[in-house]
Amino acid sequence: MKITLRDIAKMAGVSHMTVSRVINHDSMVRPEIRKKVMDVIEECDYTPNMSARALNSGETKVMGVLVLYDPEEFPAYFLTTILVGISSLLTKDEYHLSLHFDQLHKVRNLVPGHLLTDNRMDGLFVISAENNEFLLERLSAIRLPIVVVNQQVPMSGVSCIDSDEYSGAYAITTHLLRNGRRRIGFIGGTPSYNSTNMRQRGYEAALVDFGLRSDPALCGVGYFSSTGGREAAKKIIALQAGVDAIFAASDLMAVGAMSAVYEAGLTIPGDIALAGFDDNEFSKAAYPPLTTVRKNRSQMGVEAAQAMLDILARKKAGGAPLVVRKTLPTELVVRESSGSALTG
């Protein structure tokens, strides 16, 4: 049914090894024979069988991506961008990308063999929001080269690429402070998430450096959802505590908070300046456009892919295992929701 290398060989009147040499661009083939073989290959639409190749090379030319988010809090927009970034680099090296959602519990469920075990991929990207013990334990049990994307894991032997969310939060808070805001509320995401933590710490550090202190009453939790952001903002506003700005740890929550501000009959940025985090596709469409922090997610994917390729190259060369840990800069994106331009 399917055409094999030996079929091509027969048709071209050569041995199967000659065909193998042709498709591998091995120089040891006379040009005329190479051409004859190539003609047959093209005529038959022949493509080598990757399973056979993988079987004796041990390389599958597949990279896995394990996505470990709760579907409820799934950052759809942001996942795709990372994937595009990873893919753009890997494609050049003819890798396929194998996508897996939240199958952590199956990682070591061995016998059926179709899971995240060594044989079906050469490396694994892990995209996760939390670094709980469960994750860390499991990661160390996987024998594959791993690159954790979007967060820094505490174990120093694990490669990871993340964004400098702390600095981003610090910068945006400072921006609000420079605009004259002094009572800045904070809406955090899901408490167990790493980014919640980082963003809050950046926020608090900026306040401290301005001689202020964060007021626990002004800090809410929005669980990274728009309704969560809205509810949290409502509570903060209801305090009548003179809040003049709200920094929400995600754009989605910021947009929710926007609604709450409007519902309270207040203006943005007149009464309350608003800032988000992420720079989603809809944050510049908000009214007013949302000041936020941009994570270059596509770049994060690219860097992760590069790290993986480097790690595999090193492994192939037999060197000591390479560990890549990189934190990419974030960028403050000033739009109208945060009020007038810098005053100094």
Binding site for DNA (CB under 7 A): 2, 4-6, 14-18, 20-21, 23-24, 27-30, 33, 46, 48-49, 52-53, 55-57
Q: Which residue number, 204 or 231, has a Cβ lying nearer to a second copy?
A: 231
Question: Residue 109 Cβ, how far from a second copy at the closest point, in Å?
Answer: 10
Q: How far apart are CA 186 and CA 203, in angstroms?
A: 8
Tokens of 155: 């174990």
- Helices 16-23, 31-44: axis angle to 10 degrees equals 90
Count CA within 13 A, CB hemisphere, residue 262: 11
The binder of 240, among DNA, a second copy, none, by C-beta within 5 to 8 A per type, is none
Q: How far apart are CA 78 and CA 224, in angstroms?
A: 13
The binder of 14, among DNA, a second copy, none, by C-beta within 5 to 8 A per type, is DNA
Q: How far apart are CA 312 and CA 318, in angstroms?
A: 10
Q: Which residue number, 46 or 69, has a Cβ lying nearer to DNA?
A: 46
278 secondary structure, DSSP code: B
The binder of 285, among a second copy, DNA, none, by C-beta within 5 to 8 A per type, is a second copy
Question: Residue 154 Cβ, how far from a second copy at the closest point, in Å?
Answer: 25
Q: How far apart are CA 267 and CA 270, in angstroms?
A: 5
Rg of the chain over CA atoms, in angstroms? Answer: 26
Q: Which residue number, 98 or 327, has a Cβ lying nearer to a second copy?
A: 98
Q: Which residue number, 61 or 106, has a Cβ lying nearer to DNA?
A: 61
Question: Residue 230 Cβ, how far from a second copy at the closest point, in Å?
Answer: 7
Q: How far apart are CA 252 and CA 233, in angstroms?
A: 13
Q: Which residue number, 177 or 273, has a Cβ lying nearer to a second copy?
A: 273
Q: How far apart are CA 344 and CA 337, in angstroms?
A: 18
Q: How far apart are CA 30 and CA 37, in angstroms?
A: 11
Q: Which residue number, 176 or 248, has a Cβ lying nearer to a second copy?
A: 248
Question: Residue 2 Cβ, how far from a second copy at the closest point, in Å?
Answer: 7
The binder of 27, among DNA, a second copy, none, by C-beta within 5 to 8 A per type, is DNA
Question: Residue 127 Cβ, how far from DNA at the closest point, in Å?
Answer: 29
Q: How far apart are CA 248 and CA 233, in angstroms?
A: 9
Question: Residue 18 Cβ, how far from DNA at the closest point, in Å?
Answer: 4
The binder of 6, among a second copy, DNA, none, by C-beta within 5 to 8 A per type, is DNA
The binder of 80, among a second copy, DNA, none, by C-beta within 5 to 8 A per type, is a second copy
Q: Which residue number, 82 or 219, has a Cβ lying nearer to a second copy?
A: 82
Q: How far apart are CA 214 and CA 88, in angstroms?
A: 42
Question: Residue 210 Cβ, how far from a second copy at the closest point, in Å?
Answer: 30
Q: How far apart are CA 74 and CA 250, in angstroms?
A: 13
Q: Position 72: which residue type?
A: E
